[in-house]
Amino acid sequence: MWTTVGYAAGASLPLLAGAIVGVRWQPPQRLVASVLAFAAGALIVSTSFELFEPAYEGGGAWRAGLSFAAGALVFVVADTWLDRRTSGSAAGLALLAGVTLDGIPENTALGVSLNSTASLALLVAVFVSNFPEALAGARSMLERDRSPRFVVGVWSAATVLLGGAVFAGRYLFAGADPSTLAYPLAFAGGAVLASVIDTLAPEAFGDGGPAIALASAAGFVTGFLLSL
């Protein structure tokens, strides 16, 4: 129980913390870009070893592969629809929705992993990615005349939602056999990888330039060591 609480807090509270910091401080863009790049590298490793590998071992190549592809497809379709429905004036809300969109499968997968071996590597990657995303989203909302109370309020709601996703993954799949767990793990892996390629990496490169590749490499190595 307390492990689940700890993982839920570690994965979701960075959203609230990032929003609170964002309403009070404007960090250098290169710093935010470096943190996002670090998270991208760590997420690639955790997707491979903490999500897809156990899905493959439990459900085989076809089950894991098709579920992985489905997760990527759902994310891309939903993210594309979201981009078309939001305008530049709603950039902060769009970022909030995007973080929630990729955060639900990430956090659900964290909860699922607690039914076997808790994934510290995935937790660290989610923690590192959520903080700068929330910070950037909060700054964008403030620049578009949203009040600090509104900004913190909506990110607080996202924190509760994503924390609940960890509990959902933990208890909805409690006692499930490995072949059943293969579906949510691989699906989440596909969604996470799609979010890295579609959102995190381009955003980091756009603000930080080619040098952020070094931060991504550091994230990759860190994620790999935590996966051992």
Over range 213-228, report the average pLDDT: 92
145 sits in the region (left: phi over 0; alpha: psi -120 to 50; else beta) called left
Stretch (H or E) spanning 162:
helix 148-172
pLDDT band, residue 138 (cuts 50/70/90)? confident
H helices of 86-147, in order, are 91-113, 120-143
Residue linked to tokens 């990430």: 106
Instruction: Give me the number of domains the chain comprises.
Output: 1
Residue 203 has pLDDT above 80, yes or no: yes
First to last CA, the chain: 24
Over range 196-215, report the average pLDDT: 90
Segment 89-111, tens digit of pLDDT: 455 666 677 778 878 888 998 99
Query: 214: helix, coil or strand?
Result: helix
Decide: 121 and 227 in contact? Cβ < 8 Å: yes
What percent of the chain has a predicted confidence (pLDDT) above 70?
Answer: 95
What's the pTM value of the predicted model, to 2 decimals?
Answer: 0.88
Please give the residue that has the higher pLDDT: either 84 or 191.
191
**Alpha-carbon span 54 to 228, nearest angstrom:** 14
H helices of 173-211, in order, are 178-195, 201-208
Over range 206-217, report the average pLDDT: 92
Which structural domain, as residue segments, surrounds residue 112? 2-227
Over range 195-221, report the average pLDDT: 91
pLDDT the model gives residue 215:
95
